[in-house]
Amino acid sequence: MCYLLANVMVYLTGKSWIKQLVTSAFLIPSLVCGTAFFINFIAIYYHASRAIPFGTMVKYHLFYVS
């Protein structure tokens, strides 16, 4: 997806394609994962049955980072 967005950016404007690449590769997934962590912490606080265990969330995060 990042490659596609960078090529579209170069084709249309030719400027700031590196910024677009970094944004699509890191910022957007980080916001989604951060939101999921926050909602899951609320679920853990209320002892919801559908809450994902904290250790599992850390494993998912480490998998994303590596």
3-state SS assignment for residue 1: coil
Angstrom distance (rounded) from CA 43 to CA 60: 17
What is the domain count for the chain?
Answer: 1
Question: Which domain, by its residues, includes 35?
Answer: 2-65
State pLDDT tens for residues 28-49.
Answer: 888 888 899 999 999 999 999 9
- On whether the CB atoms of residues 43 and 50 are closer than 8 A, the answer is yes
**What is the average pLDDT across 11-39?**
79
Q: Is the pLDDT of residue 8 over 90?
A: no
- On whether the CB atoms of residues 40 and 49 are closer than 8 A, the answer is no
Identify the band that residue 4 occupies on the pLDDT scale cut at 50, 70 and 90.
confident
